[in-house]
Structure 1
Amino acid sequence: MVLHELLDYQTLRVIWWLLIGVLLIGFAVMDGFDLGTGMLLPFVGRNDVERRVVINTVGPVWEGNQVWLIVGGGALFAAWPPLYAVSFSGFYLAMFAILFALILRPVGFKYRSKRESAAWRSGWDWALFIGGLAPALVMGVAVGNVLQGVPFRLGSDLRIFYDGTTLFELLNPFGLLCGLLSVAMLVMHGASWLVLKTDGAVAERSRKYGASAAGATMALFALGGLWLWVGVDGYHITSAVVTDGPSNPLAKTVERAPGVWFENYGRYSWTMTAPALGFIGALANLALQKRRREIVPLLASGLSVFGIIATVGLSMFPMILPSSLDPNSSLTVWDASSSHLTLFIMLVVTLIFIPLIVAYTSWVYRVLWGKVDEKAIRDGDGHAY
């Protein structure tokens, strides 16, 4: 037997669908508190020293956390080429906005303290705020548009035609709602990180903002689910499903219908775990913040992030990118992947390197464990931001 035949094509496709989800959730959990911290910076830090404390809670780790985004993008390119092509061409301006914000963040870290000017430092503080807000908002808006369907179609030769117009068409009401949910979710997560890593006034303000963000996360998540039920059509395959054939998105028939995004919850009752975790994690975060806990609120907010993102993936399965222009061109788990051999080789590589990344990340956080306080900033040896 050829080695790659140990796992059939259908199983490999599901495994890679799960792995992409793991990488996206890994980015949201690990880099999400960085983004949330940036959004909170101008509000929880009332003077220069306090803001430096906030910056130095994420300064040593943000680069490592962003590895999850890089790995996710690379995996998407290799495992799901049509999905990568449509996403990065259709959402080009949105991706550029995210990239600009992610570039702005390290520049802000490095340049903020280069001058003593209060105006200079304040300007970079707001740049770091934008560097956190823009990715969180735009990524949420993108998810909202994916749930509604993206205006692309495939030619008979599988060439991709994207018929969208501008970035502003992505800013529709449901997309903006999803964007606000993403912002609230990551502010909750960032505030939990600051409660863990700081003390005094910064921690107290973070706790208050985090509690408010947790309440907003639950409210927006519930509103998004209701809106999805009554106002957004889903997409489902109505023809025979070939799960182990060559990737050809046009070899199926897809229809739009109300309530489709909720069918998997009736078909597989265990999937209800995901939205439940989204609510339970945020509610637990809110309660734990009020009880003035430190470590467990971060775990609870991470659980909520996991549940909310997993809810989207489980609702859409096997759809991964529906087409609002030509539903038959929609991309699914069964017809948008790389070849059987490619998926197998990538899985072997992933099983080698992901544990190494996790082990290294765990070691870094162990070394950097502890709080950042004002005394450390004032009496530092010049290595602090």
Structure 2
Amino acid sequence: MAGQWDIFCAVVDNYGDIGVTLRLARQLVAEQGVAVRLWVDDLRSLQPLCPATSLTEPQQWLEGVEVRAWTVEATADVVPGEVVIEAFACELPATFIAAMAAQPRPPLWLNLEYLSAEDWVAGCHALPSPQPSGLRKFFFFPGFTEGTGGLLREGDLLACRDALQADVAARTAFLERLGVTLQAGARLISLFAYENTGLGEWLEAMAGGEEAVQLLVPQGRIQAQLQDWLGVAAMQPGQVWQRGCLQVQLLSFMEQGDYDRLLWCCDFNAVRGEDSFVRAQWAARPLLWHIYQQAEDAHWDKLEAFLGLYVEGLSEPAALALLGLWRAWNAGQGMGPAWQVLQPHWLELAEHARQWSARKAAYPDLATALAQFYRNSLSCAA
């Protein structure tokens, strides 16, 4: 499918917005055969995820994607592509919208929404919204159920995951490249989270447990609290600390492919936001989600909506243990008891995570769904 697509990303904070749009742009180029211009208003947030990014070049090509520094001036003389995606309700420049309206065949205008498991999502997915410009904008919702836009998933992702998880030598070599030496018999856990007052209690529970745990922590917002618990003034990637049965190691921030592989290697993944949340589900390992906090506690509705889907098929004791852990983590308290309650259900939760991944993979992925929606729009316009 040839053509030019424009994706606009306004970086709010963290790496979720740019992480999702970068993955989507790469997949559209590689698998759908379209040319993609990714407009980013903060190249500094892109660089950690894609180290080849130049902070000074307003136009550059990264892994097949044309990346443009998003300024009003840069978009002024650009002919819009056949599809224009504004990611997560970012606002397009008025001049660009006018250029869209001036095209002989106006572009398909999509607002790619945040991921949610709430019931209303399927009913709102793909609905049009008439705009003052005379154009129509469609709401496109990623999701976990039929009737939504699906989840980001590259065509070879699960095969690559399975190959790595089945190859002990390859996993060991990858972790050694990250500076990690595996402890025999230790449970391997990754931790990527926002600041969380429940961290200390969880660390104490792991340190005082009966099983050896290796905790791998990519650099991020949780680092300051981790330093406080360890009682150290600073942490450098590669450093290792031992407290009881818990070994803690700080890792450098890594590009997206390596982060995926880290998740595949671990036995349990604590993740945050949207991008790492989805990637942890494709890892087919038990996970713990730290949802982005919203005003008036609106995030709790989203958390409970996902949990309602995710626990389906679990035994009641395992479901209650998982619910207790996720709620404790997001409330920032009660992690010690919740972690202990979870332990007897480890094997069931591991099998459930693999089954969940397989069920979600039965739906079309997000990039494929977007491409099909575009093809359908051409058929309707013909």
Fold in common (TM above 0.5)? no
With CA pairs under 8 Å and 6+ residues apart, which has the higher RCO, 1 or 2? 1
Q: By percentage of residues, which structure has more helix?
A: 1
TM-score by length of 1: 0.26
TM-score by length of 2: 0.26
